[in-house]
Structures are given as structure tokens and as C-alpha cells.
Amino acid sequence: MSTTTAHLGKVAAPEKSVLEQVKFAELSSVPALLARNAREFADAPAYREKEYGIWQSWTWADAAEEIEALALGLMNLGVNEGDYVAVIGRNRPYLYWSMIAAQMCGAIPVPLYQDANAEEMAYVLGHCGARFVIAGDQEQVDKVIDVQEELHQFEHMIYLDPRGMRKYDHTRLHEYEHVQTQGRAAFDEYEKELKRRIEKSTWDTTCVMLYTSGTTGKPKGVVLSNSNIVLTAKNSSEFDNLQRDEEILAYLPMAWVGDFIFSMGQAMWTGFCVNCPESPETMMTDLREIGPSYYFAPPRIFETQLTQVMIRMEDASNFKKKMFDYFMNHAKKVGPNMLDGESVGLVDRLKYAVGEVTTYGPLKSALGFSKVRVGYTAGEAIGPEIFEFYRSLGINLKQLYGQTEAGVFITQQPDGQVRNDTVGVPSPGVEVKIGDNGEVFYRSPGTFVEYYKNPESTADTKDADGWVATGDAGFFEEDTGHLRIIDRAKDVGKMSDGRLFAPKYVENKLKFYPDILEAVVFGADRDTCTAFINIDLTAVGNWAERNNIAYASYQELAGHPEVYGSIASHIAEVNKSVAQDPMLSGCQIHRFLILHKELDADDGEMTRTRKVRRKIVAEKFHDLIAALYDGSTEVSTVTEVTYEDGRKGAISATLELRDVEVQANQKMAAQ
Amino acid sequence: MNTSVEPYTTEDGREIGGVVMEMKNITLRFGGVVAIKDISFDIRQGEIRAIIGPNGAGKSSMLNVISGFYTPSEGSVWYQGAPRPPMKPYQIARQGVARTFQNIALFEGMSTLDNIMTGRLTHMKSSMLSQGLWWGKAQQEEAEHREIVEKVIDFLEIQTIRKTPVGRLPYGLKKRVELARALAADPKILLLDEPMAGMNVEEKEDMSRFILDVNDEFGTTIVLIEHDMGVVMDLSDRVVVMDYGKKIGDGSPDEVRNNQDVIDAYLGVAN
């Protein structure tokens, strides 16, 4: 090998790559798993990405070569052991490789949320002291350049897509491919050192650092070790009997622990192929083309897909609509039972088979779920109707309960024991206990090492015996042994008369209506509960179109009297159902308003994973809350909004406040 | 403004070369109507050149002269250092001049992809028969052209609508597809006839970004007609101002903005 040919990008391949040279005693790290996969499954597909309209693919052998070249290139740029390497961008094979290459160099990969704004990014980059950043495209590069003055440790940035950056100052900027080319050319120079660093890795070496989305306060860096990731990947793969021919679509944020476990941990452990969509917008088309066998999505995505199906069915011909309704009713009756392996009559089975040919099959195909063998949803509660819809089609959708600190899995539902109101039994290797105040605690091989540079928080969350407080209140059902989660432990409060206040419980019930996108319930330390509602523009907009209701903006539609009417009737129904439960009957909603803007992460009202930041919403809209409790029927307000490009504006609105029918307290009714 | 014909580099680092096309004393008559009166200006390699003016000033006629759709009654168009003889529009297209239209001119029933593929037409060498039968060289040729078209699709970020019939697209996207088709022809000079007409602010911003990106990435020379003054002043290196078929101003956006004739033409003159 001569270095003189380096500029041509053609370097003869080394006789034996570094990964082939290293002798791994155990499969105790991602590079060790990569070496095994490259050796044993060399010609099987490892990664695919749709680019220029075609699915490009890399075998395990290809991937190992690319990753090693990048690792050598990173060493050439000066990556040291213990450095933090931030990775920012949409799901792409190259970025997954970046994380493994960083691990090979003895550095710690830190994936970041790609839609974070520059300040959020500055905080995380500053906190972990990243010396290197690997960014997907110009947008991400620009954000880092914007804040680089504040980042004292930041040195070099590597980018993937060179578009628009030809004229950037390249003293600290490097193109991904060039880094690899230089790495290949410098094989002889760094071969021994890279081998030494890979061999140094143990079960306790940090595998990855993931920042929590930060529902409260600043994000915290969760340190996960090799044993956390590898053992969790092993246990969870065995739980669902994942195989090497599994296909998954990697489309959820790379900074999220779930994606790291599914697309990195489990993919490496079992050796299945990770498919990356062409762009976030084409995800649905790509999903259909790939037809994953193992699929994960938050409830929101299942909701959106169901809404789209229903809207399109409205446009279908009469015959098709009738057929759809008929077979869907049948599916609801027997589908879930058949999935759980219970006995179902012959006639019903035959009818279901006809439905499969005429309705369920085509529908699953259109949704991209034809081949789903194991599907999971988590993060938020899923509406019972939505959950049942997918299960009745024969899609094995299950729930799991987890968090970043656990390396995802705390509890999950085994096949055949799936219900919409529980989150299943403890995952393999996980111990779960309920504290005196109802809080859920767990201990597992996946339990995180610590919060980076934050011993107080670590001590608050994890005790000396390794039990971690989840912050969620829940209980085990006596007859089934399944865990049920009520709410965030700190959100479960008391009303002024001492009754239990569990806002999330009510909000989830409200969000199950397709025209309600978000709900925020208030009532801690007050006599009654009230709510903010966000309408779902797709569903309500469609309804408006059908009923010839003209509207020019979200705000106008949100304020429409008929919309108010239908939301009020939903809330009245929810009140009825809440009143059933004597413990929670105080949480009935007495008054509500429909917000004039969608709650948005750019305005800080939600986290990037789209969880409502209750406290910030309460502070920002304090005037509206006051109006809900002072009995007025109208309120004027001005709200600051942030546009996607960071500019600010203000919208003013006059909102209507409405009373809703509530059920008498059962105790009082009995008197 | 840089008045010499020596190549220079703009403040934002783009390289502007020598004169690539020159209008010499162009006059265009339709019967007794004089649409363009004795206009001369040049277009330099790599620059964004705008033509502005009130309605009926003769801007679109000027663009049609550049694209070769109209042959000037007097004067001549010099292209790459030599006078251009009268030609059919397709011959001019082969010389590397592509355009978009003020009123979208796409094939509504065809998909975005197929529409953009038509932009490659002037580069296709296999015969109509072999293309029709999709036999022999035509197969390989289509794959090559498809690759170029896919790069354009990627560049303009329209992957989601690749297979969507153009008739179903909103206006702003149709405009982008039209730009894609023009780009697919791999032009040396790109003529844009009111690329932002009828767009909302966000669509205008997107389109401006794409125009700058095209110019920056491929070094394509761009001639555009536009009514939105903000856009014109932000985008272009040099501006020609027309009124009643005559040239009343020519220079950098700042020079044009302060030109008394231009102000009079736009705001009217107090009598």
C-alpha cells in the first residue's frame, strides 16, 4: 500500500482488516458483534437506504469495511480515547456507522435530535464537551457553526451530504468520504493503535451516551455501558424470537434510546437488516416497499395512519365502504382472539378468511404492515380503539413500557397476553417493584451507569442497590401480574378537597377521539378540573370540508362553534367514563377552551418527542387558565410563536370558554 | 457593479465569468406594434440576471427572443462569441438554453418523474422506434437519464411526489417540477419566466433558495423575469429594467433602485 495513491481514492485493500485481526474473547461490544457478523453473515444485507429512487444496500462485509475506514479516518483526524463524538442527522447507514467507528476508536458516540434548534444543540454539545461532530447535511452543519463560539472543546466537523457547502471554510470541516479515503490510506500508520483500542473495550466501557428529551428541565446525559446495550439486545431479541431475516425500518430519531436498541443493539445481536427511508416525508412509501417484519412506532403514528385510512374510506365508493364496515366489524369481533390463539368457530374463521382476501390483506399492504410479525408501541398510552383496530387486522401489535435509563425495556407484553390497558410483565432479567407511594421501581442488566456530570441526579434516581425510580405511578394487576401505569408520579396530585388528580389519565381518554390532538388538564389544588384542547387539523379539516364549513386558518377552525360543540360532547362522554372510577371521579372536566395554536416543540411547549411540558404551558397561558376559573365566557390573549427558522411572531385571539356537563359524584349521589 | 468583462468573484464567493450571451440592438415588431425597441445588454457566465418592468413592458418577449422562440426584427443575439443564426427552438435547446413558463406548461396526466424525464429529450440519441419498443440501446439510455433525473429530484427535494400525477399537485410544487424539468436538460443558461408568480411567502423563500442553489452548485447562468421586487433585488447580480419596450436601466440592484427613470416608471411621474 502506498500513500501516494491516496488522493485518487484508490488504496489496495489490506490483507487482513483490523476487525479481522482482533481476537474477541466475548461478544461484549458493538464492534465485536460487527466483526462476528462480517465473518459469519458476510454476504447478507446489513443496511439499505433508498437514494436516487433505488434501494442501495450494503452487506455486513461492506459495512465492516466502511466502518473501519471511517474509524481509521477519525484517528487520523485525532480522535482520542474517551472523546465524545456527536452524531446529528436523519437515520442514515453512514450515521449508524459513525457511532460504531467512534466506539472502535475508544470514543463515545452521542446521537443528537436532528430537529433540535441551535441553542438546544449548544447545550448538549457543551455539556458532553464533544470534540468532534458528524453531521448529516448543511442544515445541521449550520446549526453547529452558529453556536461554535460557545463550544470550547469543539474541534472538527464531518459532514455527509456536501450540498451547499463547497464554499464553506474547510479548516475544521471535512467531508465524510474524504475522511474515509484518508483513513484507508493511513491503514499502516494506525493499524496497531486501532487494534489496541478495540481490544481495550470491556463490558463496562461506555457504549453510548443518550440525552433524555427533558420533559422537566435541561436534558440529562444517560451513560449506557456495553453490558447495558448488549445484554438488553440479547434478552429482548430472545423474548420475541427475532431472527436474522427480520426487516426493520429505521425512521425514529437516532437520539432516542429505542432506535439505538432496535437499529443498533438488536440488529447487531441478531444480524438483521436495517432499512433507512429516503427522507422523513417518504417514510410511508418506503414502509410499504420494505414491508418490515419487526416494527416500532409511537401511538401517534398508528393514530395518524388510522385517521388517513378512515378519511380515504369516506371517499371510497358505496360498495367498498359497506364491505369495509362489514368485515371490520367482523374483525373486531374475532380478530384479536384469533391473534391470541383462542378458539374461534369455523364459520367465523371462514368469514375472517374472506375478509383477509377482500379487506384486511389489501389494507395491511397499503399500510405497509403485511409482513409485521412483532410490532410495538410505547411512549404514551394508545387509544383502545386504535389498538384493537390494528390487532383485529391480525397485526401482532404489543405494548412495552420503558425508558432511556433502562435501555428501553422494563415491562412488555408476551405474545398472546396483549391488552390495551396494561404494559405487560417484567422483561427478561428485569426486576420490578412498587414503592410505598405507588411509584414503579426497577433493576435490570440494562440499568444505566449514571447521568453524565450529574451525581446528584444519579443519586436521586438510582439507589445503592441499583433500583431505579421511574417517576411513574402504577400497580400490578393481581390476577394477571401485568403492570398498569396511571400517570407520572409527580403529576398525580391532590385537588383542594383532597381527591386524587391524575391529569394524564383524563388527557389520554380525550386524545383517543380522532379530532382531539392534544389535551392539557389543570386542577391541582383547585375545586374543579379544566382543560385546554388542541384539535387535529387533518381530522377536523376533513370534517369541515365535508360539511361545507369555510375556514382560513387553524385559529378560525379551532374557534368554530360547531367544533366547540362536538368537543364538548366528547368531554361529556369522557366525564361519564371518569365518573365510573370512584378514585378519579374528581377529575371530571367542568370547563374547557380550544387553543388558538398547536402546542409546539419550537415554542418549548412540548418536548422533541412530543410530550406536553405541563409547567411551561401553565406559565405561558396563565391568563387563559385564570379565565377558565373566573367564570368568564370569553378571553382575549396574545401569544408569542416561534417559526421553524427561529424568527418570532405573535398571534392574538379571542377564545370562547365553555362549560361541560359533569356527572354527580357517586358518593354524593348515594347520599 | 463590475463593468469590465474580466471574470471576478462576488462577495458571497461565486465566480462570474465573461460574457456568454449578448443582445445587440434588438428590435421586435408584431405588425405595427413594436414590442422591443433597440435593446442591448449582455449576460455573463454564472450570474443571475433579472429583467424587470411594469406589465406590458416587453419582458416575456425579450425572454422569447433569448430562447429563440421569436426572431428579432432587427439586431442580433450573440451566443458564445458569435452571432446566432435564426434557429428552431429545439435547436436552441440543444445549445444549452432551457426555460420555465409563466403559465405552467407541464403534462398534467403524467407523473412528476415522467415530466422531468422529458427534460432529457434533447440528450437522447436512440431512435423513436427503439425507444417505443424499449429495445437495445434505449434501455441502457433510459437508465442513464433516469439517474440524472433522480439527482435533480434529490436536489429539489421532490422525492415524495416522484410518482404523483402532476395534475394533482399544488401550484407551488408544479412550479418546482417545471424547474426540475428545465434543470434535467443540463442547461448552460436557464430562463425563468416569473418563477414566483402566485406563490405564498414560504413557497417564494423555498424557490429563491433553490434558484441560488442551482446557480451555486452547477454554476448555471440564470436569466429571470420577476415582479416581486424584494426577490429580484435579493437574488440578482444585475438587473435590466424595461418600460414600453425600451431599456431604461441596467446595473446592480442598488444602482437600479436609485435610478430616477426606474422610479418614474414604477411610481409614475407627477405632471
Average the pLDDT over each of A103-112, A404-413, A599-608, B2-11 and give the range with the smallest value.
B2-11
Enumerate the residues of chain A whose CB falls inside 8 A of the CB of residue B114: none
Q: Quick check: A455 and A443 in contact, CB under 8 A?
A: no
Enumerate the residues of chain A whose CB falls inside 8 A of the CB of residue B12: 167
**Closest chain B C-alpha to A168 CA, distance in angstroms:** 10
Contact (CB<8Å) B154/A281:
no
Q: What is the dihedral of CA B150, B151, B157, B163, to 10 degrees?
A: -10
Contact (CB<8Å) A164/B213:
yes
Considering only CA atoms, which of A357, A394, A355 is closest in space to residue A372? A394
Please tell me the predicted confidence (pLDDT) of residue A360: 94
Q: Which of B13, B147, B157 sits opposite A52 (nearest CB)?
A: B147
Torsions phi, psi of B109, nearest 5? -80, -10
Q: Which of A52, A164, A285 sits opposite B150 (nearest CB)?
A: A52
Q: How confident is the model at residue A670 (pLDDT cuts 50, 70, 90)?
A: very low
**Closest chain A C-alpha to B25 CA, distance in angstroms:** 38
Torsions phi, psi of A424, nearest 5? 95, -165
Mean pLDDT for all residues in chain B: 88
- For domain A31-290, the CATH class is alpha beta
Q: Which of A54, A166, A281 sits opposite B160 (nearest CB)?
A: A281
Strand, helix or coil for residue B126: coil
Q: Mark out chain A residues that contact chain B at CB-CB < 8 A.
A: 51-54, 163-164, 166-167, 278-279, 281-282, 285
Q: How confident is the model at residue B271 (pLDDT cuts 50, 70, 90)?
A: low
| A contact test, residue of B116, B148, B154, B201 with most A CBs within 10 A | B154
Contact (CB<8Å) A164/B216:
yes
* Architecture of the domain defined by B12-96+187-267: 3-Layer(aba) Sandwich (3.40)
In chain A, the residue whose alpha carbon lies closest to the alpha carbon of B217 is A164
Contact (CB<8Å) A282/B159:
yes
CATH number of the A398-490 domain: 2.30.38.10
Contact (CB<8Å) B13/A167:
yes
Q: What is the dihedral of CA A373, A378, A381, A385, to 10 degrees?
A: -20
A34-47 confidence digits (pLDDT tens): 999 999 999 999 99
Q: Quick check: A138 and A157 in contact, CB under 8 A?
A: no
Q: Is A100 exposed, middle or buried (0-12, 13-18, 19+ CB in 10 A)?
A: buried
Q: Which of A163, A166, A278 sits opposite B159 (nearest CB)?
A: A278
Handedness of CA A415, A421, A426, A427 (dihedral sign): positive
pLDDT above 70: residue A60: yes
DSSP-derived secondary structure for B43-58: EETT-EEEEE-STTSS
Query: Domain locations in chain A?
Result: 31-290, 398-490, 493-670
B207-222 confidence digits (pLDDT tens): 999 999 899 888 899 9
Mean pLDDT for all residues in chain A: 90
Helix (H) or strand (E) holding A397: strand A397-403
Contact (CB<8Å) A166/B157:
no
Enumerate the residues of chain A whose CB falls inside 8 A of the CB of residue B213: 163-164
CATH number of the A493-670 domain: 3.30.300.30
Enumerate the residues of chain A whose CB falls inside 8 A of the CB of residue B160: 279, 281-282, 285
- Contacts A–B by Cβ distance under 8 A: 33
Enumerate the residues of chain A whose CB falls inside 8 A of the CB of residue B159: 53, 278-279, 281-282
Q: Is A669 exposed, middle or buried (0-12, 13-18, 19+ CB in 10 A)?
A: exposed
Average the pLDDT over each of A106-120, A471-485, B239-253 and give the range with the smallest value.
A471-485
pLDDT above 60: residue A667: no
Average the pLDDT over each of A202-211, B52-61, B122-131 and give the range with the smallest value.
B122-131
In chain A, the residue whose alpha carbon lies closest to the alpha carbon of B161 is A282
Across A323-327, A499-503, B91-95, B117-121, which has the greatest mean pLDDT?
A323-327
| Mean pLDDT calculated for residue range A574-594 | 85
Alpha-helix runs per DSSP H in chain B: 59-67, 89-94, 112-118, 128-133, 137-155, 171-184, 201-218, 229-235, 253-257, 260-267
Torsions phi, psi of A192, nearest 5? -65, -45
Contact (CB<8Å) B146/A167:
no
Contact (CB<8Å) A52/B151:
yes
Enumerate the residues of chain B whose CB falls inside 8 A of the CB of residue A51: 154
**Closest chain A C-alpha to B243 CA, distance in angstroms:** 36
Residues ≥6 apart with Cβ < 8 Å to A464: none
| B contact test, residue of A52, A138, A160 with most B CBs within 10 A | A52
In chain B, the residue whose alpha carbon lies closest to the alpha carbon of A167 is B13
Average the pLDDT over each of A2-6, A155-159, B166-170 and give the range with the smallest value.
A2-6
Question: Quick check: pTM over 0.90?
Answer: no
Q: What is the dihedral of CA A624, A625, A626, A632, to 10 degrees?
A: 60
Quote the CA–CA distance of B236 and B226 in Å, as a whole number.
Answer: 11
Enumerate the residues of chain B whose CB falls inside 8 A of the CB of residue A281: 159-160
Q: Quick check: A132 and A168 in contact, CB under 8 A?
A: no
Contact (CB<8Å) A51/B154:
yes
Query: Domain locations in chain B?
Result: 12-96+187-267
Torsions phi, psi of B250, nearest 5? -160, 125
Average the pLDDT over each of A135-144, A606-615, B157-166 and give the range with the smallest value.
A606-615
Q: Which of B154, B157, B213 sits opposite A52 (nearest CB)?
A: B154
| A contact test, residue of B155, B159, B164 with most A CBs within 10 A | B159
Quote the CA–CA distance of A193 and A191 in Å, as a whole number.
Answer: 6
Q: What is the dihedral of CA A192, A197, A203, A205, to 10 degrees?
A: 180
Q: How confident is the model at residue A214 (pLDDT cuts 50, 70, 90)?
A: low
Enumerate the residues of chain B whose CB falls inside 8 A of the CB of residue A163: 155, 213, 217
Q: Quick check: B155 and B181 in contact, CB under 8 A?
A: no
State percent of chain B over pLDDT 70.
97
Q: Mark out chain B residues that contact chain A at CB-CB < 8 A.
A: 12-13, 113, 146-147, 150-151, 153-155, 157, 159-160, 162, 213, 216-217
Q: Quick check: A85 and A107 in contact, CB under 8 A?
A: yes
Please tell me the predicted confidence (pLDDT) of residue A12: 65
**Closest chain A C-alpha to B8 CA, distance in angstroms:** 16
Contact (CB<8Å) B213/A163:
yes
- Where is pLDDT greater, at A109 or B128? A109
Q: A318-339 and A346-355 are packed helices; what angle lies between their axes, rounded to 10 degrees?
A: 130
Quote the CA–CA distance of A325 and A363 in Å, as a whole number.
Answer: 13
Quote the CA–CA distance of A156 and A532 in Å, as a whole number.
Answer: 45
Could you say which DSSP state residue A161 is in?
-
Q: Quick check: A109 and A102 in contact, CB under 8 A?
A: yes
Alpha-helix runs per DSSP H in A187-290: 187-200, 226-239, 257-259, 283-290
A220-251 confidence digits (pLDDT tens): 999 999 999 999 999 999 999 999 999 999 99
**Closest chain B C-alpha to A52 CA, distance in angstroms:** 5
- Beta strand A84-88 with A54-59: parallel, antiparallel or unpaired? unpaired
A305-337 confidence digits (pLDDT tens): 888 888 888 888 999 999 999 999 999 889 888
